Structure 1
Amino acid sequence: MVRNGSLSGAVIAVAGAGGPAGRATLLRLAEAGATVVGSDNDPERLAEAVDAARYAHGGAAVTGDTVDLLDLQSTQDWAARVERDYGRVDGLVHLVGGWRGSETFVKSSLDDWDFLELLLIRTVQHTSLAFYDGLQRSDRGRYVLISAAGASKPTAGNASYAAAKAAAEAWTLAMADAFRKAGGEQGPHSAAAILVVKALVHDAMRAERPNAKFAGFTDVKDLAEAIEGVWSRPAAEVNGNRLWLTEKP
């Protein structure tokens, strides 16, 4: 059975729960005692992630919901469903990711931008708008975006990716300002924070490339631990801040 942990009683939604980072996050949040509701656009991958979390932590309250995060109404329905079913929502962890790049700047494809704008920006817009009110109603609401160091120092071949990540950060910081203003003189009780990594690595990647060093990469287990830690810090301390898990560029 799951013991009472740092997140006992919390209800946390995880967008993009079917990938390696999502799996690690479901496990960590469940271990900390949270009720976790994962979403992904791949029902099979999501079911595997949810089952893994349940198996690893007997008694863990982990469920999955197939959601089209590119559709605002679908995302709003998910947010309303979470709050209706569990009586509250204390967090949204945004793990939706993807990458496209080019050999040189002039070879940048605007088709890549179109793809990344939807995946990395539109999904952030939809989840933040859908969950804002519920997180504001919580006494420990947190919106957590995972971003990349490249957003602060774009490289020639990563123009579309870096620009999309930077836009997602700006949108999240605007959400943080809304939390700040809503808190008034007492300060925010809910927060929007950005965790910044160079890139992520997991066990399967290491197995495929046993000689690779993955210098500066963040293991998905360490990312999950950092995500949990956002709730252990005061809202005013994390709201509107980039929390670096790698060296600043």
Structure 2
Amino acid sequence: MNANGNGGPLDGAVIAVAGAAGPAGRAALLRLAEAGATVVASDADPARLAEAVDAARYAHGGATVTGDTVDLLDLDATRDWAAKTEKEFGRIDGLVHLVGGWRGAPSFTEADLKDWDFLEKLLIRTVQHTSLAFHDALLRSGRGRYALISQVGAHKPQANNAAYNAGKAAAEAWTLAMADSFRKLGGEDGPQAAAAILVIKALVHDAMRAERPNAKFAGFTDVKELADAIAGLWDRPAQEVNGQRLWLTPKP
């Protein structure tokens, strides 16, 4: 048993976290390491990734937390990351997709389609690449989970957020198609792996609260709460979470 493990569903699991260097990624690394998982983190920013990995290691002595700088816009590089991870650790039990980005517009008609070009890569292409690269390994796991973080605007688009909302909606559709693949491949026994969507309004963390002590952040999800919800995907059977949207903010 991992020195940090408690015998729970994540003890000994191998979880890959894409986009691990931001506040949500850091919280996820800490939570997964605390639960006894081996965590394999990736980000495009090597310096911030190293800081996030070190923080998770120091917080949970004995935890295995590693970092890889991976270009998730390159399908071959993403496949290589998946293959390397499975070869090194013997299995992959999860891929947590935390790659994000946002650009808005003053109004609908002032939308800059260059923002779409930017967001399509971050919000959709990275989901396509990680899902394709990790699909088979998650199936082999027997308890594989693919977690997409989405946003309420995918369900109630706003005039000034057309590109962002459309990108999130497309990422959700792609993830649900992955869930359908898991369902079909599971046959009569039901899916052996699950792809699920966690829906938020926005994220908040301690540094944001310190900067804006009077702000209420209504409807926001704390990154620690998000990390708990991610870890909770392994607490329930695959058939209960596969293809599901788990709302961490009120539905619109």
Instruction: Give the TM-score taking structure 2 as reference length.
Output: 0.98
2:40 partner SS: strand
**1:5 shift after superposition:** 4.2
Cα-to-partner distance string for 1:63-108 (whole Å, 9 max, x where unaligned):
0000000000000000000000000000000000010001110011
Q: Specify the alignment match of 1:49 in structure 2.
A: 52
Q: Specify the alignment match of 1:162 in structure 2.
A: 165
Q: Is the 8 A contact 2:5 2:12 kept in 1?
A: no
Establish whether residue 198 from structure 1 lines up as the match of residue 201 from structure 2: yes
Instruction: For 1:5 and 1:28, locate their aligned partners in 2 and report how far apart those are by CA, in whole Å.
Output: 15
Range that drifts further, 1-10 or 17-26: 1-10
Q: 2:230 aligns with which of 200, 206, 227?
A: 227
Q: Is the 8 A contact 1:93 1:143 kept in 2?
A: yes
RMSD: 0.6
**1:4 shift after superposition:** 2.7
**1:3 shift after superposition:** 3.1
Q: Specify the alignment match of 1:4 in structure 2.
A: 6
Structure 2: tracts of 5 or more residues without a match: none
Letter in 2 for 1:137: R
Q: Percent identity?
A: 78
Q: Is the 8 A contact 1:14 1:22 kept in 2?
A: yes
1:68 partner SS: coil
Identify if the C-alpha distance between structure 1 residues 5 and 24 changes in structure 2 by more than 3 Å, giving closer, same or farther.
farther
Establish whether residue 84 from structure 1 lines up as the match of residue 87 from structure 2: yes
Instruction: For 1:120 and 1:175, locate their aligned partners in 2 and report how far apart those are by CA, in whole Å.
Output: 16
Letter in 1 for 2:5: R
Instruction: For 2:150 and 2:125, locate their aligned partners in 1 and report how far apart those are by CA, in whole Å.
Output: 14
1:159 partner SS: helix
Instruction: For 1:142 and 1:136, locate their aligned partners in 2 and report how far apart those are by CA, in whole Å.
Output: 9
1:211 partner SS: coil
Establish whether residue 16 from structure 1 lines up as the match of residue 4 from structure 2: no
Instruction: For 2:234 and 2:112, locate their aligned partners in 1 and report how far apart those are by CA, in whole Å.
Output: 39
Establish whether residue 116 from structure 1 lines up as the match of residue 111 from structure 2: no
Instruction: For 1:205 and 1:74, locate their aligned partners in 2 and report how far apart those are by CA, in whole Å.
Output: 34
Establish whether residue 66 from structure 1 lines up as the match of residue 69 from structure 2: yes
Q: Specify the alignment match of 1:146 in structure 2.
A: 149
Q: Specify the alignment match of 2:107 in structure 1.
A: 104
2:21 partner SS: coil
Runs (4+) off by over 2 Å = 3-6
Q: Specify the alignment match of 2:28 in structure 1.
A: 25
Q: Is the 8 A contact 1:5 1:31 kept in 2?
A: no
Q: 2:192 aligns with which of 189, 192, 195?
A: 189
**1:211 shift after superposition:** 0.9
Instruction: For 2:52 and 2:193, locate their aligned partners in 1 and report how far apart those are by CA, in whole Å.
Output: 28
